[in-house]
Structure 1
Amino acid sequence: MVPSRPHAPTTPARTARVDALIAVGVGVVVLAAVLFADPLLVGGALLGAGGVFLFRRQLFDWTTMLFVLTLVVMLVPIRRYALPIPVGFALEPYRVLILGLLIALAVRLIRRGASTMRPVLWGWPIAIFLWTMFFSIMVNAVSLTESGLIEGAFSNIIQLTFLLSVVVLVRQMLTTERITLLLLNAIVFAGAFVGLFAFVERATRRNVFLMLQHFLPLTVLRDDAESLRAGGNRAYASSQHPIALSVLFCLIIPLAIYLIRHSPWPKTSFSRTLVYVCAIGAMMLGMMAAVSRTGVVTLGVMFLFVLFLRPRLAGILASVAVPLVLLVGLLLPRLFESMVLSLFDIQGLIASQMTSIGMAGQGRLADLPDALAEFAARPFTGTGLASRVVVGDDANAQILDNQWLGTLLETGLVGVVGLIALFVWPIVVMVRFVVRSGAPQHRRDLVLAIATASAGYAVAMLFFDAFAFMQALLMLFLLYAVAAWAMTEGSSSWRPSAGAAGTVRVRAERAV
């Protein structure tokens, strides 16, 4: 064995040279600031750079960046803010952060080798999805080019690839069960924070998440969102739309239920239950402030999913939820009628989805005749990814509020296969793991929570343009990474079970 080369000692001369270079560099920057820029602005930048340098080991730790990424996704509204750096396009915080983490991951792989990569598990579903999207561009390249939409098509697939990279990034940053539990707690309490201030927004018409420029170095891209329902403003909070906000809460609530049983803090069962029930209550307040029936439907789908897999757990949840629902109906009758009772008025519900025919915001059912005719013309490959422009001066199509239908029209049946691979197949794999794996109970419960959230999201995609609202989509991909950790980390030590085939299946997929 060749002995490792000892590190060269740091001599006083080398230290002096480094200090001299730093001093000269700072002096040049300060001189340039005095002559060509605002000294106050540059001084603040130098102060910030100094702080980053001093705490570089803490700031640029993988675990720290995992929580920074999570909080940026949860608390900084997407398409609302950008960093104040003029580069010709908006430097949104989440984009800059993900790009920086991708570069850091690439450097780590170059230095340590690809063998250090932790199993992502969802490689094939991601690949199938992206290839079906790319296939729709290639098949429709001529028409997309002639209509001037080819650039938007490639931009769209790059954006989807960029968002999906979160699955890989987060999986590499999840190394221990402690970090995973801390991440789940961060998500849940951030969700409770958003839910609480969403309810405040409904009451006061002031969105605190659109005031971040007063506390952070951000520039506002737009803050003109407004939607009315049930006698007041619908809350946007940190999301792009009230529907997306309600779906975000639906993704997080199963995690809170999981933590009621498995979180190491608080220590006592009563205190732990109280803490997470309060968090769930805050998110439910936020969902009511969003006044979204999509959220109610998503919760209903998630309940049926749990009822099928864990009937006893579903019974406990129902026994707690029913009295709370009745209480909400008594205290907030107008919201309750708009969100829940209106779902049982079938004729009124159908009529509401047939309104504004011919206008940009016509109802979902009013979209179907023209959409089905368009599908019949190009059933297999569609008209091409990003060929349907629904906003702006170049708009050429209706807003469908249905990601499954929109993808069907743009990419045809081939693209729907990609959607199934990305949003349905992982649920099947997770259910197999829950039912047949020999993994510890807390791992199977975590995968069940994520599978429940994923099932709710897959159905919610029928009621909103999921790819246009990145916050909820990023949260789903983050949960995919957590599921990959739960299903693979330490799996070699799990005992075999009666359903050993499921365990073998998971281990075989670890190489993906």
Structure 2
Amino acid sequence: MLDFLRRPEPGDARGLLTVYAVLLFCLPAQMIIGPLGASGTPAGVVGMGMLLFWLMVRMLPGNGVKTGLQPIRLVVLAFAGSILLSYAWGVLHPLPADQLSGADRAILTLLSWCGIAFVAADLLRTRKSVELLLRTLVILTGIIAVMGLLQFATGFNIAELYHIPGLKINYVIGSVTDRSNFRRVSATASHAIEFGVVLAMMFPIALHQAFYVKTHRWLWFSLVALIGLASPMSVSRSATLGLFVAFIVLFAGWSGVRRAIALLVAPVAIVVLRVLIPGLVGTITGLFTGWQDDPSIQGRTDDYAVVGDFIDKSPYLGRGFGTFLPKTFITLDNQYLGQIVETGFIGLTALIALFVVGIFSARGVRARAMDDEMRHLGQVLCASMAVAGLSFATFDGLGFPMISGLVFLLLGIIGALWRLSRRALDDPPLTRPERQKVAL
């Protein structure tokens, strides 16, 4: 059951990525290393360190790392290039001090994202290492799901008790907002929307563990139930849409038997939710049926007219990543729209490419898989990236450290599996016992 705690093999980055994941999920996103500002979360600093580590390993001779190009590394580099172009364009024009500082912080965050993706893509050496890292992520998601459930029931967030020397609170931890008399929970995330979407992204991965981990299956199915129950407690359209998209993508890749079981279980799960928390299902349904009169929807559509002038001034490179500050301008609940404002249509194309390449690389893993478990894992990662891609249209995901960090970590994991699946095709055929040994 605890094989995910096994010591990584020499040269494998699973231990480093596990440390990053623990910091990302278990420390409140509002806790930062003061001098570094909003980009100075402990997880973010570890991500920056991973970029340096990756560069040093790549320069060492005989390191055993494949240096060939791969889609995930290319698309992350293209995304980074679009942001650096927008940064250069922005600093060439007069910017107020606070916006210039925001651009500098955004570059530090970008370095962290690159470090996470590159280390995962190039330095996870085996399939088993990837699987153990994913199990760790599911366990951590279960922890914050439990925190969310307690916060929903009591109104108190355990994260408020955190006091760590050397870290300061960037803004209030655990503030609970209400929607239709229901608490919107956040646990260690920055906001209820981020909490709900992160759980929706991890739900397919948790389900994969429940299907294929042979020991203590009750634990993994319990985690699936906890994550599936806690995500709607964010009372968020983004989380609800995310769970729906995850279900659709998974359903498309399942066998007929598994589809039939899913069609039976899904209505039961909704009924159980209605019984456990009367009114919650109706409230979530009302978020979609009453959208014409919802002020949050109207606020989003009103943003289109406001940002038009900013886009016209620099349609290709934008005004600089990290410069469109909510305190100075408005909050854009649409990452794609914000990406056009800050990095232009070049940056928007690069952002969309992140998700498109991530989804198709995961599909490539599925297509090259030699067993049912790996085929399902490819479909699962495809579902997680689809959830993230959709959610970025409903809130500014790159402005939230937990979901943005998770996106780049999963991109790196997809890159690692893409590399390993390609290597498996290039290697000579193995006997059945040898294939079983490789799978372990």
TM-score (norm 1): 0.73
Q: Does 1:324 align with 2:295?
A: no
The within-5 A match list for 1:53-452 is 62-82=13-33, 92-113=41-62, 116-117=65-66, 121-145=71-95, 149-213=99-163, 216-217=164-165, 219-221=167-169, 222-224=171-173, 225-266=175-216, 272=217, 274-310=218-254, 312=256, 313-343=258-288, 345=289, 348-353=290-295, 363-372=299-308, 374-376=310-312, 378-391=314-327, 395=328, 397-434=329-366, 436-437=367-368, 439-452=370-383
Distance in 1, Cα, partners of 2:363 & 2:422: 17
Change (3 A) 1:93 1:233: same
| Displacement of 1:315 | 4.3
Give the secondary structure class of the aligned counterpart of 1:333. coil
Q: Following the alignment from structure 1 to structure 2, what is the Cα–Cα distance between the partners of residues 472 and 354?
A: 21
Q: Which runs of 5+ in 2 are unaligned?
A: 1-7, 428-440
Residue aligned with 1:228, SS: strand
Residues 118/485 of structure 1: CA separation in 2 closer, same or farther (3 Å cut): farther
Paired AA for residue 316 in structure 1: I
Q: Residue 134 of structure 1 aligns to which amino acid in structure 2?
A: L
Q: Which letter maps to 2:209?
A: L
CA RMSD of aligned residues (A): 3.1
Q: Which residue number in structure 1 is paired with residue 388 of structure 2?
A: 457
Aligned-residue offset at 1:330? 3.1
1:255: how far off? 0.8
Q: d(CA) in 2 for partners of 1:118 and 1:422?
A: 20
Deviation at 1:237, TM superposition (A): 0.4
Instruction: Point out the structure with max Rg over C-alpha.
Output: 1
Deviation at 1:212, TM superposition (A): 2.5
**CA drift at 1:377:** 5.1
Tell me: CA distance 1:63–1:416, structure 2 relative to 1, closer, same or farther (3 Å).
closer
Distance 2:242 2:20 in 1: 26
What are the superposed Cα offsets for residues 90-118 of structure 1, whole Å, 9 maximum, x if unpaired?
85321333344444444444544565357
- SS of the equivalent of 1:233 reads strand
Q: Which residue of 1 aligns with 2:4?
A: none
Aligned-residue offset at 1:337: 1.8
* Contact 2:235/2:284 (<8 A) preserved: yes
Look up the SS of the partner of 1:390 in the other structure: coil
Is the alpha carbon distance of 1:492 and 1:305 closer, same or farther for their aligned partners in structure 2, counting shifts above 3 Å?
same
Question: 1:12-27 maps to which residues of 2 (within 5 A)?
Answer: none
* Compared CA separation, residues 416 and 170, structure 1 to 2 (3 A): same
| Alpha-carbon separation, structure 1, partners of 2:154 and 2:98 | 44
Aligned counterparts of 1:219 and 1:142: Cα–Cα separation in 2: 34
Please tell me the residue identity of whatever aligns with 1:94. A
Residue number in structure 2 paired with 1:40:
none
Measured in 1, the distance between the counterparts of 2:186 and 2:115 equals 26
Q: Which has the higher contact order (CA 8 A, sep 6+)?
A: 2
Q: Is the 8 A contact 1:77 1:238 kept in 2?
A: yes
Distance 1:297 1:467 in 2: 18
CA 1:331–1:146 in 2, change beyond 3 Å: closer, same or farther? closer
Give me the identity figure in percent. Answer: 20
Give, as a single letter, the amino acid of the residue that structure 1 aligns with 2:47.
I
Kindly indicate whether the alpha-carbon contact (under 8 Å) linking 1:438 and 1:494 is maintained by their aligned counterparts in 2: no
Instruction: Give me the whole-angstrom Cα distance separating, in 2, the residues matched to 1:325 and 1:475.
Output: 27
Which runs of no fewer than 5 residues in structure 1 stay unpaired?
Answer: 1-56, 267-271, 356-361, 497-512
Query: Quick one: distance in 2 between partners of 1:411 and 1:455?
Result: 22
Cα shift at 1:279: 0.6
Q: Any conservation in 2 of the 1:230–1:291 contact (CA below 8 Å)?
A: no
AA of the residue aligned to 2:129 = I
Amino acid at match of 1:333: P
Q: Is the 8 A contact 1:353 1:365 kept in 2?
A: no
TM-superposed CA distance for 1:150, in Å, is: 3.8
Q: TM-score, normalised by structure 2?
A: 0.84
Deviation string for 1:266-286 (max 9, x for gaps)?
3xxxxx2x3322111111232
Please report how far the alpha carbon of residue 425 of structure 1 lies from its aligned counterpart in structure 2 after TM superposition: 2.3
CA contact (8 A) 2:232 2:240 kept: no
Contact 1:404/1:461 (<8 A) preserved: yes
In structure 2, do the counterparts of structure 1 residues 137 and 227 end up closer, same or farther at CA, with 3 Å as the change threshold?
same
Tell me if structure 1 keeps the 8 A contact 2:319–2:342.
yes
Higher alpha-carbon deviation: 483-492 or 109-118: 109-118
Q: CA deviation at 1:69?
A: 1.8
Q: Could you tell me how far 1:248 is from its partner in structure 2?
A: 0.7
1:131 positional shift: 1.8
